[in-house]
Amino acid sequence: MAKKILVLGGAHVDRRGRIFGETAPGASNPGAWFEEPGGGGFNAARNLARLGFDVKLISPRGGDPSGEMVAEAASHAGIDDKPFVFLDRKTPSYTAILERDGNLVIALADMELYKLFVPRRLAIRAVRNAFEATDLVLCDANLPAETLSAVTARASFCGKPVAAIAISPAKVVRLKPCLAGIDHLFLNEAEAAALTESRPDDPREWVSELRALGLRSGVITRGKRELIAFSRDIIISLQPPVVDNVADVTGAGDLLAAGILAALLAGHDLGEAVRHGAAAAAITVQSPFATAENLTPELLKTMLALVPEAAILS
């Protein structure tokens, strides 16, 4: 029987504009727009469903065509979609401008609706039942700080592990009050700097600072450079595989999180799990979409052969 994952977090519309030529700041740049469903929690949910997990998604949504787009994508991915629908509100959106090579120039997040996912919604019977039935709770920092604290408290009460996606430097600080209740946190170096209020020359110094804040396990990505992963008793590094045909980096961190969680739930250790995550991220950046629709366990296994072994740092 497939393991169950409960996802509470962002499920909205991603709009991305890609510049055709060299980026000219402060000027009009020729390019094109692309729109698809996205959100940290939602991207991870779709990836986990494609990897064979039983995924339930709970997220606020507006009563508009954008909300219908998200619902259709959830159904297509095989997710058990249970949104809180606010008929008089608009579905949140994320709008990004990308350079020709796919790297982010700037983004705007219109996420006001997520403020309505307040802690008392966790007391709804269907939500309580979802916590009881799941094997893992995955949340993201699109939710309010007090709701994230309530999620970790509810999960602890039910004896369920919690994973979290940092989303952005501005939002990751919402997780600070509940870090001790998070079993796995996925963040990049900008988010690590925001959370710890430091920028050390050696990224391993972030590990001791995050541990001091109560975090038990985490993964810090650093673009094309070595990522750092740690648990209570080990620190490892991993060089992501070289990907020549990068189409779009959007969603790479979310699929890395999904790949790592899938491997951990399958019983792999942290070193092997980050290899699975790096392989999954490499698949995503070759796709023009935030999630790779061709993702399968077999494709992941093929890409895994290109990922080096993790190195133990301590």
pLDDT, greater one: 247 or 220: 220
pLDDT, greater one: 38 or 299: 38
Closest CA to 273 of 314, 307, 224, 244: 307
- On the question of pLDDT at 231 being above 90, the answer is yes
pLDDT, greater one: 281 or 50: 50
- Mean pLDDT, range 68-90, rounded to an integer: 95
How much of the chain, in percent, has pLDDT values that exceed 70? Answer: 94
Q: State the chain's mean pLDDT as an integer.
A: 90
- Mean pLDDT, range 32-52, rounded to an integer: 92
- On the question of pLDDT at 247 being above 70, the answer is no
Sheet holding 12-19, edge to edge: 31-38, 12-19, 93-98, 104-110
Q: What is the pLDDT of residue 310?
A: 83
Q: What is the pTM of this model?
A: 0.90
- Vertex 192 angle, CA 189 and 194, to 5°: 115
- On the question of pLDDT at 285 being above 90, the answer is no
- On the question of pLDDT at 242 being above 80, the answer is no
Compute CA distances 91 → 65, 87, 138, 301, whole Å.
Answer: 9, 10, 21, 36
